Each structure stands twice: as C-alpha cells, then as structure tokens.
C-alpha cells in the first residue's frame, strides 16, 4: 500500500466465518450468573423463557470460535467488511506524530455496529419458531438494528425506548417504525414494571435499566410467543461483534502497522469488545502488548467509579444477578445525549478484563466529547454519533500525548456509528445548552447500599 493510502478495504470473501469467543482465553473464568431468587448459579433452562437455546449455549460456551451461519453471513454482505481508514486529516489538524486509524461501522444499514448481533439474534430466534422479539433501546441504534433484523426474517419487533431518547430522537423512532417495529416510550403503562416506576415518578425520563425491565416482562408474559433480545452486555452479544476486530487485524496488515492502543466507547461493552477482543487474543496468545482503553461518560462512570459486585441487570430486579462494575440497578442517569452509554452496569466480560488488568478505562465529560466530535467532523467529514464521539475524544487524547512525548504512536478506534439522527444533540451543543455533569459521589454511595446481598 502507498504511504498516502487512507482507506483499507477487504473483499467479501474475508468476512469472518466464525466469531471469536474470549472465554476460551481469559486467564480467570467469568463469575457465575446467579438466580435472582435462590442466589444459586443458573443453568440453560433458567434462561430458556427469554432466549433461544442456540444463544444460551453461546452464552456459556468456552469454545474459542463459533461458526457463523451462512444465512447470517449473506446478510452481513450488505455492509461487511467495513472499511478501515487512516485519519490523516485529523492527524494534520492535531499536528501529531501519531498515526490514527478508525474502523467505520456507520456504513451498515442501521448506521452502527449493532446490526452485527441483531442479525444472528433474529436468525436463531426464527430457527426456534419464535414469532417476535422484545427489546429496549437508549440512543435508538439498537432498536433500529433489531427492527431491521426482525424485518429481514419476517418477525414482530417491540421496542421500549428510553423516554428522554424517544423525545430527543424522533427520527430514530420513525426509522424503527419504517421497518415495522412497535415503539413505546419507557417507562410506560403497558407493563407492571413501567407502572410501578410512573407511580413513584410520573415525570421519569427513563433509563436503560427501566426499559430492560419492561422488555423482559413483555417477553416473559407473552406465553412463549416472543423472546427478548439484548444489544449489549451479554457474552453472546460481545462475541458476535468480534467480526469488527477480526477484519481489523487483516486491515492493519494491509496498512503495514499494528496498533499501540485500541480505543472504544463503553456503555454495555459491545462495540469496545468488538474491536478490542481480537487484539486482546493477540496479547494473550501471541505476545502482543497493545493497550486497550474503554471510554465512558463522566455522567455514567460504571467502570471508573462503580463497585464490582453482584447486581441486577434491570431496575425492577427481574433479571439474573451478574457480577459487574455497577452504579446500582436503580441508577437513573442525567439526560446526557449519549443515550447508548447510559447503563448502570457493564458486560461481565469487560468487567473481568478490567478487574484482571487486561484493559484500562477512562471517563470523559460531555463537552470534551462534543468538541472532539466537531474536530473529527471538520477534518474527516463524518458526523459521529455522540456515543462514538467518546472514542474519538480518547483517541485525540492519545494523539496529543504522543505529540507531548515526541513519539510515534499507532492509535486505533472504533467509529461505531454515524450521528445523522442525533442532530438535536449537536443543536443543543451549538446553542450552548449542554453542560458537563459528573455523577455525585453521594448518589453512588446511596445506590451501593441498595445492592442485593449475595
């Protein structure tokens, strides 16, 4: 490749045939998931009311690689392989010796990385005879992806959208409806969980934890007609996303470089895992020493300020207990514009990586994030989703650190989605209406006191 090449493409034949499962290589295995009632480790049968057995077996699998069904690979061909780009214009704007690369997942039909797991989740449910899926969505990226995936397979889709995002992002809602989804602002009066929240706080702006409670209840009370789908956090979801990093390894070879640091935003963990886990595999098995840096909002700092403890994945306490870095299951975040990062906990895989010292984490405030997004847009020409902008902000920090040290540094980040339907956030930024908000320590301490006793 020429030294001036900025775009590194793979042919469709290089779409991975298998997903990579980090559970085969973690130095210490994941903690068991516990039944919310008995507090004993759960088995596949406990999860059967919510998920198809194929996904449950992937959830607990210790196999290093899991075959991707050919029907899923055929749908992947609509957007995969996604491009890797060198951000030369950003490098010039920052006047840095760092080489900055980004994997661009915004070329998918849904505009983000979420379709990488929505497609196989819909496929496996359809194979088991399920007629529809329930889910929650924060920013709307996941709801968009699942509505498209359900449409691919002729399935019903019911989305509980965090109310503040439902109000801030009407066009996300319209996209889901265009693909046939039923979209409800959460909390709602459709479920017992939603009614309970509204009785307590009629003006609740919602949270991912609340929306999960509603979606789980809707599936569990459907008489087996519907199952539940989750866009992040769970092991099988993170595993599906590893198509990103596997492609990236080959594209970095085309570029003739290897990353010193890999950066990705973290809310539930799926896009950071997607790009990071294949590089962690190289660290664990091939002697590489790439730093992995997860980036979260200062307003929702689960890794950097949360406690590593067993907690519910939802607000109503309907889900199994998972050991994770948590801000408490009743955490209701400030209505920041990175809706996809407003989750109280974190994926078990990411938590174990952090606890085992296999990755770093940093929290970045909202204004710095949007400043980074504008710098990137004006240099590279892509308006990023607010979630993706957290990764950009951390990559810029790495590039500036390289400049201060006077050293070349190869920085890779996952640009997990475009911001074309997030322009109300940019409107608020340009109007000076956005503020930095750090989650108060007293709120964290209060939430820790309410953690379930295990």
Mean pLDDT score of the chain: 93
Contacts for 162 with CB less than 8 Å, ≥ 6 apart: 136, 137, 138, 185, 186, 205, 206, 207, 208, 210, 211, 339, 342
Q: Are 63 and 24 in contact (CB under 8 A)?
A: yes
| Tally of residues, the chain | 454
Question: For residue 163, is it within any domain?
Answer: no
| pLDDT of residue 282 exceeding 80 | yes
Instruction: Residue 91: name the closest of 257, 253, 242, 248 by CA.
Output: 257
pLDDT bin (cut points 50, 70, 90) of residue 439 is confident
Q: How far apart are CA 115 and CA 183, in angstroms?
A: 18
Here the tokens at position 12 are: 């469709």
What is residue 143's predicted lDDT score, i.e. its pLDDT? 96
Question: Mind listing the pLDDT tens digit for each residue in 342-391?
Answer: 678 899 999 999 999 999 999 999 999 999 999 999 999 999 999 899 99
Q: Give the chain's domain count.
A: 1
| pLDDT of residue 193 exceeding 80 | yes
Question: For residue 203, is it within any domain?
Answer: no
What is residue 441's predicted lDDT score, i.e. its pLDDT? 83
Residues forming beta bridges with residue 375, ordered by sequence position? none
Least confident of 164-173, 248-257, 351-360: 164-173
For residues 43 and 16, which has the higher predicted lDDT (pLDDT)? 16
Is the pTM for the entire model greater than 0.85? yes
What average pLDDT does this structure show over 14-39?
Answer: 95
CA 289 to chain centre: 24
Q: What percent of the chain has pLDDT over 90?
A: 77
| pLDDT of residue 163 exceeding 60 | yes
| pLDDT of residue 400 exceeding 70 | yes
Q: How far apart are CA 72 and CA 69, in angstroms?
A: 5
| Residue owning tokens 């990023």 | 384
pLDDT bin (cut points 50, 70, 90) of residue 334 is low
| pLDDT of residue 341 exceeding 80 | no
| pLDDT of residue 281 exceeding 70 | yes
Here the tokens at position 158 are: 């019911």
What is residue 319's predicted lDDT score, i.e. its pLDDT? 79
Task: List alpha helices for 100-168, DSSP H.
Answer: 115-127, 141-152, 163-168
pLDDT bin (cut points 50, 70, 90) of residue 68 is very high
Please write down the long-range contacts of 42-46, taking CB distance under 8 Å and 24 or more positions apart. Answer: 42/320, 46/320
Could you tell me the maximum CA-CA distance found in the chain, to the nearest angstrom? Answer: 63
Render 243-278 in DSSP notation, one character per residue.
HHHHHHHHHHHHHT---SEEEEE-SSSHHHHHHHHH
Question: For residue 374, is it within any domain?
Answer: yes
Highest mean predicted confidence (pLDDT) among 284-298, 321-335, 424-438:
284-298
Contacts for 321 with CB less than 8 Å, ≥ 6 apart: 33, 34, 35, 36, 39, 310, 311, 312, 452, 454
Residue 434 Cα distances to 23, 143, 367, 425, angstroms: 40, 25, 7, 8
Question: For residue 29, is it within any domain?
Answer: no
DSSP designation for 453: P
Q: How far apart are CA 382 and CA 374, in angstroms?
A: 9
Question: For residue 225, is it within any domain?
Answer: no
What is residue 345's predicted lDDT score, i.e. its pLDDT? 84
| pLDDT of residue 123 exceeding 90 | yes
192-219 burial string, b = 16+ CB within 10 Å, else e? ebbeebeeeeeebbbbbbbbbbbbbbbb
What is residue 3's predicted lDDT score, i.e. its pLDDT? 63
Q: What percent of the chain has pLDDT over 70?
A: 97
pLDDT bin (cut points 50, 70, 90) of residue 34 is very high
Q: How far apart are CA 242 and CA 271, in angstroms?
A: 9
The continuous run of DSSP H or E covering 185 comes out as strand 182-186
Question: For residue 175, is it within any domain?
Answer: no
pLDDT bin (cut points 50, 70, 90) of residue 452 is confident
pLDDT bin (cut points 50, 70, 90) of residue 340 is low
Domain hosting residue 415, numbered range: 7-14+69-111+236-449
Question: For residue 145, is it within any domain?
Answer: no
| pLDDT of residue 4 exceeding 60 | yes
Here the tokens at position 223 are: 């008489």
> Please, how many CA atoms are within 13 Å of residue 62, restricted to the half-sphere of its CB?
6
| pLDDT of residue 79 exceeding 80 | yes
DSSP designation for 29: P
Here the tokens at position 4 are: 């001036």
Contacts for 374 with CB less than 8 Å, ≥ 6 apart: 429
Here the tokens at position 386 are: 């607010």
Here the tokens at position 97 are: 């010796």
For residues 13 and 141, which has the higher predicted lDDT (pLDDT)? 13
pLDDT bin (cut points 50, 70, 90) of residue 315 is confident
Task: Give the CATH number, domain containing residue 387.
Answer: 3.40.50.1100
DSSP designation for 90: H
Question: For residue 328, is it within any domain?
Answer: yes
């Amino acid at each position: 490749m020429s030294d001036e090449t900025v775009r590194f493409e793979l042919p469709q034949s290089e779409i991975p045939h298998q997903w990579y499962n980090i559970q085969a290589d973690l130095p210490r295995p994941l903690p068991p998931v516990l039944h919310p009632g008995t507090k004993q480790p759960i088995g596949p049968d406990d999860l059967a009311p919510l998920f198809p057995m194929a996904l449950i077996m992937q959830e607990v699998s210790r196999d290093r690689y899991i075959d991707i069904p050919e029907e899923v690979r055929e749908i992947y061909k609509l957007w995969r392989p996604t491009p890797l780009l060198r951000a030369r214009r950003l490098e010039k704007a920052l006047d840095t010796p760092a080489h900055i690369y980004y994997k661009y997942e915004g070329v998918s039909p849904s505009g983000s990385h979420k379709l990488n797991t929505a497609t196989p989740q819909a496929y496996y449910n359809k194979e088991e005879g399920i007629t529809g899926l329930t889910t929650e969505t924060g920013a709307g990226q996941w709801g968009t992806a699942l509505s498209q995936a359900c449409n691919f397979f002729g399935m019903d889709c019911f989305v509980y959208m965090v109310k503040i995002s439902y109000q801030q992002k009407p066009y996300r809602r319209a996209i889901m409806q265009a693909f046939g989804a039923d979209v409800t602002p959460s909390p709602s009066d459709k479920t017992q969980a939603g009614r309970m929240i509204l009785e307590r706080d009629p003006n609740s702006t919602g949270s991912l934890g609340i929306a999960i409670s509603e979606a789980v209840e809707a599936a569990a009370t459907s008489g087996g007609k519907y199952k539940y789908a989750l866009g992040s956090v769970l092991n099988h979801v993170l595993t599906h996303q590893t198509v990103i990093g596997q492609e990236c390894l080959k594209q970095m070879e085309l570029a003739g470089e290897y990353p010193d640091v890999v950066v990705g935003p973290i809310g539930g963990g799926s896009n950071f895992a997607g790009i990071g886990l294949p590089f962690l595999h190289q660290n664990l098995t091939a002697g590489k020493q790439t730093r992995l840096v997860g980036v979260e909002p200062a307003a929702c700092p689960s890794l950097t300020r949360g406690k590593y403890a067993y907690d519910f994945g939802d607000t109503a306490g309907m889900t199994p207990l998972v050991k994770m870095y948590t801000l408490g299951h009743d955490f209701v975040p400030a209505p920041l514009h990175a809706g996809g990062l407003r989750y109280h906990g974190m994926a078990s895989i990411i938590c174990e990586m952090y606890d085992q010292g296999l990755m770093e984490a940093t929290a970045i405030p909202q204004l710095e994030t949007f400043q980074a997004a504008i710098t990137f847009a004006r240099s590279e020409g892509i308006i990023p989703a607010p979630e993706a902008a957290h990764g950009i902000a951390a990559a810029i920090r790495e590039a500036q650190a390289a400049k201060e040290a006077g050293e070349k540094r190869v920085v890779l980040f996952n640009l997990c989605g475009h911001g074309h339907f997030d322009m109300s956030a940019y409107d608020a930024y340009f109007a000076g209406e956005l503020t930095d908000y750090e989650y108060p320590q007293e709120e964290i301490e209060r939430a820790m006191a309410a953690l379930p006793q295990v």
